[in-house]
């Protein structure tokens, strides 16, 4: 984390408007401590879910100013709303954002929540701090648990039960960073739905090691 000060307010505003910059090929988020509003991204939201449902869910964390829908950046699809909504939220206090879960279920569907500046959730090992394509957590083919390999596996009753019941439906979903790579940061629409009756269904990704599907 770097803390920067500026002599001129316009310089601060110019940098804060960038939202993120690249330093040594690493993405760095720009956070203005004097600007409390946060654009919380909610991924995988079905088109049928009204914006009011999301607004109601986030009211517990602060004041919801608006909910918008991002659009796809692929040529010919720029007019189509994606499955990512942006919730502009004014937190009740700094600790409120810490209480926002990484994943919840809305209308029976899992959604992924990305808070600016917060470490991401790995959809493979379910640990915090990295995304699936960066995951190096070992996976045991014997008990289907993360954290060790077959040679180090201790078969307990709980492990045997988990082997029969464990499933990872999120292996088919894109991470937040993958969604951001396909959807531009600057093109949300406030209409709450995709135009022309079309919806994008391109969030599927190739299943990774550890999937039982």
Mark whether 92 and 184 lie in a shared domain: yes
Give the Cα separation of 193 and 191 in Å (integer). 6
The total number of residues shown for the chain amounts to 213
On whether the CB atoms of residues 210 and 138 are closer than 8 A, the answer is no
107 or 102, higher pLDDT: 102
Q: Is residue 143 part of a domain?
A: yes
Residues 59 and 101 in one domain: yes
Residue 101 has pLDDT above 90, yes or no: yes
Confidence of residue 5 (pLDDT cuts 50, 70, 90): confident
Query: Looking at the predicted structure, is the pLDDT value of residue 209 above 60?
Result: no
Q: What is the per-residue pLDDT across 8-37, written as a single tens digit (0 to 9) for each?
A: 888 888 887 777 788 888 888 887 776 678
Confidence (pLDDT) at 29: 80
Q: Same domain, yes or no, for 87 and 144? A: no
Do residues 112 and 182 share a domain? yes
My answer on whether 104 and 180 are in the same domain is yes
Token reading at 177 = 């960073």
Q: Answer whether residue 2 is part of any domain.
A: yes
Q: Give the H/E segment covering residue 173.
A: none
Residues 19 and 54 in one domain: no
Residue 33, pLDDT score: 72
User: pLDDT of 146-201, one tens digit each?
Assistant: 888 888 888 665 655 655 544 444 555 666 666 665 554 444 544 444 333 333 33
Residue 184 belongs to domain spanning? 36-120+175-192
Both 8 and 86 in one domain: the answer is no
Q: What is the DSSP letter of 76?
A: T
User: Is residue 115's pLDDT more than 80?
Assistant: yes
Give pTM, 2 decimals.
0.59
In a domain, 202, yes or no: no
Q: Which residue has the higher pLDDT, 46 or 173?
A: 46
Residue 181 DSSP code = H
Domain-located, residue 211: no
Question: How confident is the prediction for the chain on average, in pLDDT?
Answer: 77
Q: Check whether residue 53 and residue 100 sit in a common domain.
A: yes
Q: What is the pLDDT of residue 32?
A: 74
Give the dihedral sign, CA 68/32/64/83.
positive
Domain count of the chain?
3
Same domain, 105 and 75: yes
Q: What is the pLDDT of residue 63?
A: 93
Do 63 and 94 fall into the same domain? yes
Same domain, 99 and 187: yes
Local structure of 26: helix, strand or coil: strand
């Amino acid at each position: 984390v770097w803390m920067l000060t500026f002599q001129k307010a316009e310089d601060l505003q110019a940098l804060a408007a960038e939202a993120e910059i690249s330093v040594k090929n690493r993405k760095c988020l720009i956070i203005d401590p004097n600007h409390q509003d946060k654009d919380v991204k909610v991924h995988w939201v079905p088109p049928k879910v009204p914006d009011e449902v999301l607004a109601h869910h986030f009211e517990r964390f602060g004041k919801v100013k608006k909910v918008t829908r991002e659009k796809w950046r692929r040529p010919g699809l720029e007019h189509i709303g994606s499955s990512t909504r942006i919730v502009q939220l004014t937190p009740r206090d700094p600790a409120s954002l810490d209480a926002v879960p990484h994943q919840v279920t809305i209308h029976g569907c899992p959604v992924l929540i990305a808070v600016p500046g917060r470490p991401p959730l790995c959809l493979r090992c379910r640990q915090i701090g990295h995304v699936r394509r960066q995951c190096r957590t070992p996976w045991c083919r014997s008990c289907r648990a993360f954290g060790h390999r077959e040679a180090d596996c201790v078969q307990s009753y709980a492990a045997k039960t988990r082997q029969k019941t464990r499933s990872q439906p999120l292996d088919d979903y894109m991470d937040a960073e993958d969604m951001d790579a396909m959807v531009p940061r600057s093109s949300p629409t406030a209409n709450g739905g995709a135009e022309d009756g079309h919806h994008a269904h391109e969030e599927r990704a190739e299943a990774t090691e550890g999937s039982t599907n």
